[in-house]
Amino acid sequence: MNTGPARAHFLTGVLYAFLVALPLFVLAQGFGVEWSRPYQSLAVLAGVLAFVLLRRFDPTANWRFGRPGSIANRFLVAWGMLVGGLALAGFGLQYAEFYSRLLLGTWVVVTPFFIATVHLLIRVLMRRYAPESRLKRRAVLVFASESARLLERGLRKIDDFELLGYFDDRDAGRTDGGVGDLPLLGKARDVAEYTQKNNVDVVFVVLPDNATKRVVGVLETLGDTTASVYYVPDFIAFQVFNAQFVEVAGFPVLQVAESPFFGADGLLKAIFDRAFAAVALVLLLPVFALVAVLIKRDSPGPVFFKQARYGLNGKRFFVYKFRSMTVGDDQVRQSRQATKDDDRITRIGRFIRKTSIDELPQFWNVMRGEMSVVGPRPHSISHNEQYRKEVRRYMVRHKVKPGVTGWAQVNGLRGETAQVERMAERIEYDLDYIRNWSPWLDIKIIVLTVWTVLRGDDNAY
């Protein structure tokens, strides 16, 4: 079960509850009004209404005023409903006499501007500290149809996507005008290659006209009956068992694969990662110094080594580790995993690998924005190229940053993956993490990682 939208709405609701109550408290202090029980009760009630009415308004989206149906206009309507609800409650319970009308009037006017300011601040922070959560996403459409043309117009209105073009198996002259003014980029079979080469963030696959007409024909026939009718997408044929319906530009679409770290959750994750890594690096400085001395005394060669891995969106980066093998052998590991009693591993290397101390320099990768504290562990380049062909949906794990620790590792899937079945099991845990991410899951994995290291892991060598 994918809990992403529910989790996001809950966190957004809590944020709005706070943003609505805070100005009331500040204004009370400014007006010299005692923060008594009536005002406390009002703040609580306003917070509850904000949680209920405002939580579906994404604080990271583009709130453009003036356009009918825009997020900003719908937000103001919801704010009016909140104020109306408070007014009805106040008059109905005869509490209105306990409040300063000037204070409340000021609060009603000031609060939307305060929320808009916070909204802009969140977008600025996301651009600065969570660039992977780009506010405008590169998108393509697959199959030209009337639905695709309607979707294209809707996407242009919300201005959250950079539309690159569309794919169709027909020539441009046979697609009934194509899709708006978008260029035809190729056949449907070309979309995967184009997506990889051009950093495409989102692919919208729209039913072609011939398939749509068949479905519509059946629905129109059933319209002459009194039966309840449900249209069920072919989840089994598409192999999208964890898909869910979401709204994009006013259209219900089936979300098949998505990063949980787009928007406010991405900013939250980025802040947590940098804060945790900064504290860890400071606290672990004595450990770093001691390990560096032991490595230098144990065998000739550098203290650290770096190795190319695939990261977010399949982009290469260099992961840092304490050297645990004899010089010249670390690069061999790119195509050969360490095994039990591996003679390439040094004496101190065996200890730091068993205790995961060799991974600690990766907190520097976290500070650089290349990794997260928690996420799918980065595999060697050679293993990526091998297993992406053998394990279904392998590359979906690269929709998020790799982690210093991960859900698969605390579930006994650390270490060697000699069989495809074992790698497939690890990937399933990675996908499960992506589907069900929450801040609490990250904390749980961190705690379980510490526990696993303390009690020892037979798969670590």
Q: Is the pLDDT of residue 270 over 60?
A: yes
Q: What is the C-alpha separation between 278 and 252, in angstroms, rounded? A: 41
Reported pTM: 0.61
Phi/psi for 196 (5° steps) reads -70, -40
Rounded to 5°, the CA angle 337-341-347 comes to 100
Q: Which residue has the higher pLDDT, 460 or 306?
A: 306
How far apart CA 31 and CA 370 sit, in angstroms, is 48
Q: H or E element: which one contains 161?
A: strand 161-167
pLDDT interval class at 229 (50, 70, 90) = low
Distance CA 138, CA 140 (A): 7
CA pair distance 449, 412, nearest whole angstrom: 11
**How crowded is the C-beta side of 319, counted as CA atoms within 13 Å?**
28
User: 139 is written with which tokens?
Assistant: 């998108």
State how far the alpha carbon of 90 is from the alpha carbons of 26, 41, 47, 357, 406, in Å: 21, 11, 15, 60, 50
| pLDDT value, residue 288 | 92
Q: Looking at the predicted structure, is the pLDDT value of residue 226 above 60?
A: no
Q: How far are the Cα atoms of 230, 285, 353 from residue 281, in angstroms, in the given order? A: 55, 6, 18
Q: Tell me the backbone φ, ψ of residue 438, rounded to 5 degrees.
A: -155, 160
Residue 289 has pLDDT above 90, yes or no: yes
Q: Supply the pLDDT for residue 444.
A: 92
Higher pLDDT, 293 or 336: 293
User: What's the pLDDT at 66?
Assistant: 43
Which residue's structure tokens are 């008059």? 91
Contact assessment for residue 130 and residue 269, using Cβ atoms and an 8 Å cutoff: yes
CA 412 – CA 458 distance, rounded (Å): 9
* pLDDT value of residue 239: 52
Percentage with pLDDT > 70 across the chain: 73
Q: Are 356 and 460 in contact (CB under 8 A)?
A: yes
pLDDT higher than threshold 90 for residue 375: yes
Among the residue ranges 70-79, 90-99, 275-284, 422-431, the one predicted with the least confidence is: 90-99
Greatest mean pLDDT among 73-82, 215-224, 241-250, 404-413: 404-413
Mean pLDDT of 6-34: 84
To 5 degrees, how large is the angle CA 15–CA 19–CA 24? 150
b/e for 192-230, b at 16 or more Cβ within 10 A?
eebbeeeebbbbbbbbbbeeeeeeeeeeeeeeeeeeeee
Q: What is the pLDDT of residue 204?
A: 86
What residue type is assigned to position 166 of the chain?
Answer: Y
Q: How confident is the model at residue 442 (pLDDT cuts 50, 70, 90)?
A: very high
Strands 184-186 and 161-167: parallel
Span 121-177, pLDDT tens digits: 877 776 666 655 555 778 888 888 877 888 888 788 766 788 999 988 877 666 677
Domain boundaries, the chain: 4-129, 137-255, 264-455
Calpha distance 332→422 (Å, rounded):
22
State both tokens at 100. Answer: 């300063």
Give the pLDDT score at 109: 92
Is pLDDT above 90 for 366? Answer: yes
What is the mean predicted confidence (pLDDT) over 278-293? Answer: 92
Does domain 137-255 fall into CATH 3.40.50? yes
CA dihedral 129, 130, 135, 138 (to 10 degrees): 130
Q: How far apart are CA 92 and CA 99, in angstroms?
A: 14
In tens, the pLDDT along 200-213 reads 888 888 876 666 66
CA–CA dist 319, 362 (Å, integer): 6
Sequential DSSP letters for 291-311: HHHHHHHHSSS-SEEEEEEE-
Query: What CA–CA distance (Å, rounded) separates 397 from 433?
Result: 9
